[in-house]
Amino acid sequence: MGTLVLIHGFPLSARMWEPQLELAEQGWRIIAPQLRGFDGTPSPSSVATSVDDYAGDIIDLLDGLHVDHAVIGGLSMGGYITFALFRLAPRYFRAMVLADTRAQVDPPQAIEGRKKMMAAVHEQGVTAAADEMLPKLVCDSTRTNQPEVVATLRAMMLENSADVVAGAIAALMTRPDSLPLLPSIHCPTLILVGDADAITPPAMSEEMQRSIPGAELAVIADAGHMSNMEQPVAFNRTLSRFLERRV
Ligand code: MLT
């Protein structure tokens, strides 16, 4: 047992990890950091605009809590930040968890899309990001059978300020290529992905698994990009088995 750090995705908040808090019953101390400015926290003195800004904040948090070794992971943007943290300070990693994420940078077309979203957020507020992201975040069966998941996601997004979300878009589009980093990840690593993830499809996870020595891959059935919220039972079972066996 030990500390499990779970980093949230874009443009959400730490509350997305609520279904995973039950792992605390197995003795894990769970830290789900609220990234700078998210979840309606008062306007930060400076808005984060890079994955290194977020990773630096998490290092400060871990140091403040005297945590020098943890299982660290995240979903999607949380995965990009996990890579940034590993690049800056690999010594903190006892194991890594990469959920519905990818190692490569945005292709030029995606960068154009990010710029448009940033302009729309500045003009119309966070609703613009929520309207664009929501249809892609969950799979069809979640949309039909678990409307409460969609409602929770929307509420989480709308709690964030436009400046913080625009800063996060800047962080997404400037993140460095993590493909060269993958072969140097020697801690136990679990990759999870929803079988119907439309943003970071399973092929991207397979690519990461091939490059990270000894990495395990679990494809979660009937889940889109938010696999931890859409299929919490399967997600938690997979994560908890990995932690029991490998950590
Ligand atoms: C996320 O869920 O964090 C975002 O989809 C990441 C991205 O758009 O690349």
61-89 residue pLDDT tens: 999 999 999 999 999 999 999 999 999 99
CA–CA distance, 60 with 66 (Å, rounded to integer): 10
Closest by CA to 96, choosing from 206, 223, 192, 220, is 192
What is the predicted pLDDT for the residue at 42?
A: 62
Ligand 1 closest atom vs CA 77: 3
The ligand 1 atom nearest the CA atom of 106: 9
Q: Residues in the chain, how many?
A: 247
The helix/strand/coil state of 217 is strand
Domain ranges within the chain, ordered by starting residue: 2-246
- The closest alpha carbon to 164, from 7, 16, 37, belongs to 37
- Tell if the pTM clears 0.95, that is, is over it: yes
- 187 Cα–ligand 1 center, Å: 24
Residue 199 Cβ inside 6 Å of ligand 1? The answer reads yes
Q: What is the CATH number of domain 2-246?
A: 3.40.50.1820
* Beta carbon of 38 within 6 Å of any ligand 1 atom: no
156-176 pLDDT tens trace: 999 999 999 999 999 999 999
Distance 198 CA to ligand 1 centre (A): 11
20 lines ligand 1 (CB under 6 A): no
The SS3 of residue 58 is helix
Strands (E), the chain: 3-7, 29-31, 70-75, 93-99, 189-194, 216-220
- State residue 21's pLDDT score: 98
**What letter represents residue 28's amino acid?**
W
| pLDDT per 10-residue tile (average), the chain, 247 residues | 96 97 97 90 80 98 97 98 98 98 97 98 96 97 98 96 96 98 98 98 98 98 98 98 96
Q: Which residues fall within 8 angstroms of residue 202, CB to CB, at 6 or more apart?
A: 193, 195, 219
CA atoms within 13 A on the CB side of 62: 23
Residues 24-44: tens digit of each pLDDT: 999 999 999 999 999 676 666
